[in-house]
Chain A
Amino acid sequence: MSGILVVLEDREGRIGRISWEAVAAALQLSSFARQPVHAALLGADTSTVAAAVAAKAVDGVVRVEHPLLQSYTSDGYTHALEQLIRARQPDFVVFPHTYQVRDFTPALAARFGQSLIGDVTSIADGPLFTRQLMQGRLTGTYRHNGSGPCFVSVQSGAFRSDSVTTGTAPVESFTPSLEAAQIRTRPGAPFRAAAQTVDLGSAQLIVSVGRGIKEADNLPLVQDLAAALGAELAASRPICDNGWLPMERQVGSSGQTVAPKVYIAIGISGAIQHLVGMKASQCIVAINKDPDAPIFEVADYGIVGDLFEVVPALTAAIKAAKQ
């Protein structure tokens, strides 16, 4: 048993950024584990993406192809990768922590008597894997115990995709044995709920509100601030889950990804699902009563205080400054 297998996601004929980040993580792991890195791609025809990966500094590319892998199903991917892993016996299997990966890797790992170390943010010699706990309020360091492959998925944005240098890697094929009857679910085509009328992605200023606002009746407080600033209003998931603001104003992994000049997070604790959607903002302001809230880890400016006092004061100060 040896080697590091990194499984990449083909998104409409392209390798997405998070998959390159997984390659970066695999290469980093390889610097500790001194083992070669092979990249695997799954699909009915992976020729285009395989060529893109073969031009990078990996030791090999495996095209895992079968007509039943045309579109993603948990059953198809689990069976195919189980066969590949049994055939190659890698020590480590690395994935990007996407919704798709979350859907099947826990089952895949269980087939090998393993648990996935999921959503990893850093890898140190050992190897030791760090991930977040308690919604980002703590970090935990994990190690793999005993024999069998170690399954790891890496968090979006945690490893640098541009650290993956160019190279020339040999490409090989692997044909899993799959039967239609093994695939028990029938996935439909992806759709969007409604036409987007708010484009948070191009907003320069965003005022974003979270659970700290307590109830819908308090929203005018942040709406006034947004109006005074000329900012778009956004929210973290719980606000949209409650129906207080429409889903299209949600920032985070399940909503929009934004990178405005200024992002003012009000009453948002900063769970990772929210942070991934806004941490690329040029300037982050956090207003929160809890000084230990994870939002302060990414904030440039922080006000620790009661938003019901701070926000009206800020609205007034901005109005005064603009006169």
Chain B
Amino acid sequence: MKIVVAIKQVPERDAPVRIDAAGRWIEEADLQWALNESDAYALEEALQLKELHGGEVVVLSAGPERVGSTIREALAKGADRAIHIDCEDLGQRDALGVARLLATAIQPEDPDLVLTGLQSDDLGYGQTGVILAELLNLPHASLILHVEKSDTGITVKRELEEGWFQNIDLPLPAALTIQSGGAKLRYATLMGIKRAKTKEVRRIAAAELSAPPEAAVVLDRIALPQKQKITQVLSGSAQEAAAALVEKLKFEVHAL
């Protein structure tokens, strides 16, 4: 099975969030970067499918130079090769614009399966995988926790709301968006890290794939969220704060 996994590099979870001067995005200068969480699960699913059925895992990522480190991480975990779409203006493209870039790079690969994470931890559009399916004319399913090969294609376990699940049969080729938590993530081994250095990373300039399209949806400005409630912050040492909270729970909330 030939699998393309589209992955995204995002700011690390606990990274400080400072709004930039233009008010349109965050200061990127001193951010730490990481592989988007659900994309890590998409990669894991791809690697497990390859271990079971053979084939090839190709990771695909769009972004500036720094994305290279996340691509190397994926290669170190076991992906066979990578495609890096050099793109400086990813944030200015809407979900469709980004998916068009990725789809154009995927097309000549002609994979059996296209996997992405469910949603990015930064912009959180949650659309890339589903749009890829549309652009590549593939059947798709989203929020997938597990993939099994069947005689006619694949059977996937889809998460529904409130603790419900559903199995879906799809023919191949297909596209899936993977939900976090379906498998246990592997770490890169020392050997894997060493091998990754020799694996192919093909770089394509975004301009070669598609002209920056006029975005249908524009992010005008960003802001810190407005508080929905007035929080009483209980300060002092751990003991003092704990004692204050117990007082509140007892006399204001009447819960003790």
Contacts and interface: CB of A to CB of B under 8 A. Distances in A.
Interface of A: 74-75, 78, 98-99, 102-104, 106-107, 109-111, 113-119, 128, 131-146, 148, 184-193, 196, 204-205, 211, 229, 237-238, 240-243, 247-248, 250, 253-257, 261-262, 269, 279, 282-286, 290, 292, 294, 296-306, 309-310, 312-314, 316-318, 321-322
Given A99-B161, A317-B246, A191 B166 contact: yes
B226 to A, nearest CB: 8
A139 B161 contact: no
Those 7 A-B pairs whose CB atoms lie nearest each other, nearest first: A241-B181, A184-B139, A106-B127, A107-B134, A313-B242, A309-B238, A115-B94
15 contacts: A74-B139, A99-B160, A109-B96, A134-B26, A135-B124, A139-B222, A145-B214, A145-B218, A191-B164, A255-B163, A286-B231, A303-B233, A313-B241, A314-B246, A321-B250
Contacts of A128: 220
A185 B238 contact: no
A283 B231 CA distance: 11
Contacts of B99: 110
A242 B26 CA distance: 30
Given A117-B217, A302-B234, A317 B225 contact: no
A114 B216 contact: yes
B127 to A, nearest CB: 4
B58 interface: no
Contact of B130 (A107, A191, A248, A313): A107
Contacts of B180: 237-238, 241
Contact of B95 (A106, A196, A301): A106
Contact of A303 (B26, B125, B130, B245): B245
Given A102-B143, A104-B130, A114-B216, A262 B255 contact: yes
A267 to B, nearest CB: 12
Interface of B: 11, 13-14, 17, 19, 26, 94-97, 99, 121-128, 130-131, 133-135, 139-143, 159-171, 179-181, 184, 214-229, 231-235, 238-239, 241-243, 245-246, 248-250, 253, 255-256
A115 B130 contact: no
A185 B168 contact: yes
Given A142-B220, A298-B228, A321-B250, 7 more contacts: A103-B141, A106-B125, A138-B222, A139-B222, A196-B163, A294-B225, A313-B242
Contacts of B143: 99, 102-103
A116 B225 contact: no
A310 B241 contact: yes
B163 A188 contact: no
Contacts of A306: 238
A205 B96 contact: no
A134 B167 CA distance: 31
Given A107-B131, A142-B217, A310-B238, A190 B231 contact: no
Contacts of A134: 11, 17, 26, 121-122, 124
B126 A102 contact: yes
A279 B227 CA distance: 13
A139 B96 contact: no
B164 A103 contact: no
Contacts of A316: 242
Contacts of B184: 243
B205 to A, nearest CB: 23
A49 to B, nearest CB: 18
Given A142-B220, A145-B218, A190 B96 contact: no
B239 A313 contact: yes
Nearest to B182: A241
B107 to A, nearest CB: 15
B124 A138 contact: no
A113 B96 contact: yes
A318 B246 CA distance: 6
